[in-house]
Structures are given as structure tokens and as C-alpha cells.
A and B are shown apart, each in its own frame.
Chain A
Amino acid sequence: RKEVEQDPGPFNVPEGATVAFNCTYSNSASQSFFWYRQDCRKEPKLLMSVYSSGNEDGRFTAQLNRASQYISLLIRDSKLSDSATYLCVVNTDYGGSQGNLIFGKGTKLSVKP
């Protein structure tokens, strides 16, 4: 089982739709979790951290389910500008060969007019 797994998509949704992505992780000792966003031919940028209690930032809501070892990202009222690849990142905090941070391969979202 891969350490961090995401559905690659693409998710094709109309403007205004609500869309959700999940990301599963294999290491139950993982400490912290993040979503990064990567626009086409650009570098990844931090979108939001994921807290145990769940957190919301405008139209974006992130949730953590430790029992089932997954995190989710919900986007409400999708905008054309939300079109990007969303990367799930898990921090293992055990300083392995990749440092602490394990990146998923990303889920591609395309919002259509």
C-alpha cells in the first residue's frame, strides 16, 4: 500500500458545484496533514492545514478521520479559478528518508463554465 493515495481524477464539475476529494494514508502515527494546490505548470502552494477538529477557510473545508486514516477536502460553489491539482501531504514526524513530508500524486480538478 502506498503511503499516501489519491484519486488522480480528473474531476470535471460545473461552476457552482460542490466537490470533495479524499486522501488515504498508511502510517497511523502520522502527525499532521495538509492540502497543497498546484496550478498547471506552476509550483505547489500551501492551501490549508488539516486539523483534527476539521477546519474551514471560506469555500474550503478540510476534515481528518484518524480512525479510517483519511483526510478530505470539500470545495463549495466551485469557481473556474479552482481548476488545479490538489496535493495531499502527510507529515510522519519520524524523519524518514524523505524527511517528514509525504506527498500524494494529486487529484486534478477542472471546473467548467
Chain B
Amino acid sequence: GAGVSQSPSNKVTEKGKDVELRCDPISGHTALYWYRQRLGQGLEFLIYFQGNSAPDKSGLPSDRFSAERTGESVSTLTIQRTQQEDSAVYLCASSLEVGYNEKLFFGSGTQLSVL
């Protein structure tokens, strides 16, 4: 597609359930990022991929969070045993490649609400 696509756009779940968020980056973009943004707050970095590899996973908030990327394309962010504090917008972004002039293109996000 023309831009970064995220699905679902909205997800309402019950506390304790697992959720899977999907990101389809712009075709040919090798770098992919996940951010979390709580209401009225700044972007919180979660993880990034260069190709299918995530150089550092220390940005993930807890071991309930995991992410993977396959085929240097689609990425999924999985949150297990969701908690109310996980409620936020989860934004995905991609760029042509990691480098000094890197420009990010963001998807419209997944609004996650944990009841």
C-alpha cells in the first residue's frame, strides 16, 4: 500500500486477555519501529527492527510484551495478560533504512483499551 497500515484501528479487551497488533510497513522499508503513546503524553519507544532483527528489546515495558517481524515486512506486537495501564495508542512507523537522514512514516495507530 501507499502508507503504513496498522490493524486493528481500535481494540477493546478485558484485563488478562492477550492482544496482537499488526503493522504493515511501506514496501521496501527495512526499518520498523513501535511506539506507545498514552493520552496527552509523548511517544514512548518500545522496539525497532532493522530487517527482521531487533537489536535491543530493552524498551519493551515488561516481559508481557513481545514483537516479531517476518520477511522484512509485517510486524506484530503481542501483549499478554493485558493490564489497564496498557491502554494507549500503539504507533508503528517505518523508514527506508536506519541512517543519518532517516525519516519516519507513521501508521494511524491502534487504540487499545483494556477494561
A residues near B, CB below 8 A?
31-32, 34, 36, 42-46, 49, 87, 89, 91, 93, 95-101, 103-106
Contact = CB atoms under 8 A, between A and B. Distances in A.
A46 B91 CA distance: 15
Contact of A100 (B41, B58, B100, B109): B100
B18 to A, nearest CB: 25
B104 A101 contact: yes
A70 B6 CA distance: 34
Contacts of B50: 99
Contacts, number: 62
A103 B101 CA distance: 15
A24 to B, nearest CB: 15
B31 A99 contact: yes
A45 B43 CA distance: 13
A32 B104 contact: no
A43 B42 contact: no
Given A34-B103, A99-B31, A43 B108 contact: yes
Contacts of B109: 43
Contacts of B101: 32, 49, 91
Contact of A42 (B55, B104, B108): B108
